[in-house]
Amino acid sequence: METLEGYLDKLGSAEPTPGGGSAATVVAALAAALVAMVARITLENPKFSSVANEASSLAHEADALRRNLLEARLEDEAAYGAVVAAMALPRANPAERAQRTAVLQTALGGAAAVPLHAAGLAVSALRLASRASALENENLQSDVVCAAAFARAALEAGAANVRVNHRYMKDAATIVAQEAALRELERAGAELYARANRRPGP
């Protein structure tokens, strides 16, 4: 299994992958892990027996989301790798240029779709963080706030990666549809972030 240090070494290298999209999924996975921690500590505290079922459900959902995010990390690296490979194709004559353009456009479409999916997972992490906040375990509220901040950062990073690919894509219909989906994720994310940062009490 790859260590965190090993991943960071690769991230900090001159290689094009992993990059920002990959890192964003890792940040969102950290958010999910924090939510799971908050839920499990709350579950073990008799003072919070009234929310025990919710805490248990939250822990398992956060675990599943973390796994999905780590899968999304690999998908992002593969998608951007396809763009890099397409850009390296020969273009010495019209036929080669046409082939390169077609392959590159397909790769760019994938490189936009994958971070859009990851942005959706980041919103899911924000949703879990808002539920963790509702457990009202004041001793762990800073962890909830951290989880929400990480998830929001992952959402913003995912959005940036979608939009940078839109600059080079020629499929206008796909761009419009993805932008609409992205704006809805950003709207939902802002609302959930506010919920996750609420403070218990009057």
Model pTM above 0.75: yes
Does residue 197 contact residue 170 with C-beta atoms inside 8 Å? no
Count CA within 13 A, CB hemisphere, residue 58: 30
pLDDT at 2: 87
Q: What single string gives the DSSP state of each residue in 2-28?
A: --HHHHHHHHTSSSS-S-HHHHHHHHH
Residue tagged 């989301």 (tokens): 65
In the predicted model, residues of the chain with pLDDT beneath 50 are 202
The token pair that represents 144 in the structure block: 């909830």
* Environment class of 199 (CB within 10 Å of its CB; exposed 0-12, middle 13-18, buried 19+): exposed
Q: What are phi and psi of 39, to 5 degrees?
A: -65, -45
Please, are residues 31 and 125 in contact by the beta-carbon 8 Å criterion?
yes
The whole-angstrom distance between residue 193's C-alpha and the CA centroid of its chain comes to 14
Burial class (CB in 10 A: 0-12, 13-18, 19+), 195: middle
Note the residue count of the chain.
Answer: 202
- Domain spanning 18-196 has what CATH number? 1.20.120.680
